[in-house]
Amino acid sequence: MQTVPHVTIITPSLNQAHYIEDTIQSVLSQDYFSLEHIVIDGGSTDGTLDILEKYRQTDLRFRYISEPDNGQSEAINKGLNLAKGDIIGWLNSDDTYCQNAVSNAVKAFEQHPEWTVVYGKAFIINEKNEIIRSYPVRPFTMNQLFHSCFICQPAAFIKKTAFDRAGGVNEHLDFCMDYDLWIRMAKRKETFGFLNKYLANTRFYANSKTGAKLFDAGFPEIIETLKQHFGAVSKQWILFFLNHFRHKGSYQFLYLFKKYSLLGKSSKVHLSKKVDYLPSFSATINSNPSEPVQAILFKGELKKFRTCRIEIVHNGKTVYHSTIRKGSFELVIPLFIKNREIIEVKLKRPHDQYYAGETIFRLDHLLPLSKKEWEFYQNFEKGAREITKWVHQHFPDAHFQEKDENT
């Protein structure tokens, strides 16, 4: 008798009682019998465990563990250590497989024994299992991987030997651990095969990780991953987030660009927490001589009075003054600073009347902007067309620096 490959499907889970039964059924109803399904639960309290126990008692191919963990990445690695299969599938607890997904993946491996990763097409579905659109899957090239995550994680199957060589998923990542895994595997010369069939459905909804955390958690992790592996961030990624999250405002982008030096090294002054001030405060700016400060972005809140006059003093001279209204405010002030210099912000009521010793405003953020950062801000404020043109001129195109995996 010919031995068929054994397949392990790993599902990390936490409080997904609403979806996890669909996930389990999509695995156990596959037409490929030599498989096991392992759910690694993080200690759910929403009824998930009752569902898991039901399937444990009725299907020998299904097992689970439930205990507190450090998140999805650790759960996947736990499952990998428990897996008995020759081929690994990773299916999140709100995603599902299409019919014949496992058998189609196994056949692809048998027909192409040199492949160590097989990935197929996928649908994006909503909470009601309705198809929204197809996931933008593409045939594999390393260059394209620099520009986008075109492999849909639930539609990918991996030989366990390749997964083990990669050392599992990066447990320091909470959002783009799959993207990081594809890059690391590609750099280790694993062979990716594209199967032109629909294998999985990935669910998108407001409370999903992608729906809720794509910008705040996903964007920084994608930047870190690209900087680590390629030494640069593709303009396609920058434009993707600008197109979808322009409403976040220029500050959110500038803060990340400065944090990761995407527009060159520049002065970094950032308040780690919101600080309340009396009518005035001063700050020292240590400007990088090679990238002098061209402007300063202030974000804060006027907490008292209906309006106040704000003055910016640089080296003892007032360089800006205006009136701000109660509530949140954002100011970007052109201000050339080449060395270590002091600026002072003063808020005054009309006729210089205020309550002695009482906080008038709160400063949330202070960002010194280099020439490129200042240009980004100006073009961002002009509109989507102008900032798109500017990004095309200042971010990498099809070329990237592939860093040594051992560094």
Tell me the pairing of strands 361-369 and 275-277: antiparallel
User: Binning pLDDT at 50, 70 and 90, where does residue 321 land?
Assistant: confident
CA-nearest of 217, 153, 177, 196 to 72 is 177
pLDDT at 270: 56
The pLDDT tens digits of the residues spanning 10-43 come to 999 999 999 999 999 999 999 999 999 999 999 9
**Helix%, strand%, coil% for the chain, nearest 5:** 35, 30, 35
161 band by pLDDT with thresholds 50, 70 and 90: very high
pLDDT of residue 155: 98
CA-based radius of gyration for the chain = 26
**Which H or E run includes 70?**
none
> Could you tell me which residues come within 8 angstroms of residue 237 by beta carbon, excluding any fewer than 6 positions away?
147, 148, 222, 223, 226
Least confident of 4-8, 250-254, 255-259, 397-401: 397-401
CB of 303 closer than 8 Å to CB of 361: yes
Residue 2: what pLDDT? 59
Structure tokens at 313: 């003093």
pLDDT at 396 over 80: no
pLDDT at residue 354 is higher than 60: no
121, pLDDT greater than 60:
yes
Tell me the C-alpha distance between 12 and 70, whole Å: 11
Confidence at 331, pLDDT banded by 50, 70, 90: confident
Report the share of the chain in percent with pLDDT over 90: 66
Residue 272's pLDDT is: 55
Query: Would you state the pLDDT for residue 308?
Result: 82
Q: What is the pLDDT of residues 191-225, one digit of tens each?
A: 999 999 999 999 998 777 777 788 989 999 999 99
Chain-centroid distance, C-alpha 30 = 32
Token duo for residue 194: 């594209």
pLDDT at residue 401, as a whole number: 52
- Return the percentage of the chain with pLDDT > 70, whole number: 91
Q: For the chain, what is the mean pLDDT?
A: 89
